[in-house]
A = this chain, B = another copy of it.
């Protein structure tokens, strides 16, 4: 029996559109339906919820739906990447739109308080650039730092987490990597801004997710994480463990080694799959990883790593993960 807490972004249970299937991969679902689906996942306890909601959804209704599904809220993700912010949220060239981004995020902060959640999650997917010569890079980065810094200063009682990603929908996102994001956070100089480390984004950024986690931890900024999988070249948001189980195992090894405690979250987009089944399947694998960590000889592994002895280290990991 696992002592772990599992979570998921509520969008895991949505249907999706993209630039080709503009009519969607299935009929639209509203937030309440998504929560009810999340409730069907065997071991899910917490969710991250997008905001704002459609006019017919009230906070009370959300609360009721969460309660009947035994779910609590870990974070609120303001939608600072839809049409209004399609040319940027914190870095939009229009000061009025930047102001609007601040407002929406402050509303999200209020929801964090109301739901007793852990943080406002910022994913500035439209803040960046597409073309060579398009932006003044100093100015854009300055706006990124100032915009989030302002928000965090306005809400010193709350945590704000930045989820970096190399790109999409922008061709290049300003917060593109763990190091760049830490550099920005250090420039803000505030205690309540940290990183939400997405395993797949780290892979996509050419990072070793285990190294990314260690770096964020060593800066005291690993405030949250989520997992999924991809083919390293795009944010495919596939089911965790289906492509890169070994690096996923190394990622959780690093978390345990550092006594990092927090929710094991899913950020998957099952475009053509059943969302509940996709979540169950990922969680089953995460439990396997958890028991594999119990089996892993941490001392021998540390000794191998001290020698940078790749083969010995891999054999220890393999034994724990595959039983060979």
Contact = CB atoms under 8 A, between A and B. Distances in A.
Contact of A215 (B137, B239, B323): B137
B21 A81 contact: yes
Interface stretch (A2-10, A23-31, A61-69): A23-31
Copies in the complex: 4
A249 to B, nearest CB: 8
A interface: dominant SS: loop
A53 to B, nearest CB: 13
Given A285-B318, A323-B323, A214 B137 contact: yes
Interface residues of A, number: 103
B321 A322 contact: yes
A281 B311 contact: yes
Nearest to A84: B23
B284 A324 contact: yes
A308 B91 CA distance: 10
Interface in A156-179: 166-169, 171-172, 176-177, 179
A208 interface: yes
Given A83-B24, A137-B215, A243 B132 contact: yes
B324 A288 contact: yes
21 contacts: A20-B125, A93-B307, A129-B208, A130-B238, A133-B305, A133-B310, A134-B313, A139-B305, A140-B308, A141-B214, A167-B234, A172-B208, A177-B180, A179-B179, A179-B182, A182-B183, A183-B215, A186-B186, A243-B247, A285-B324, A322-B322
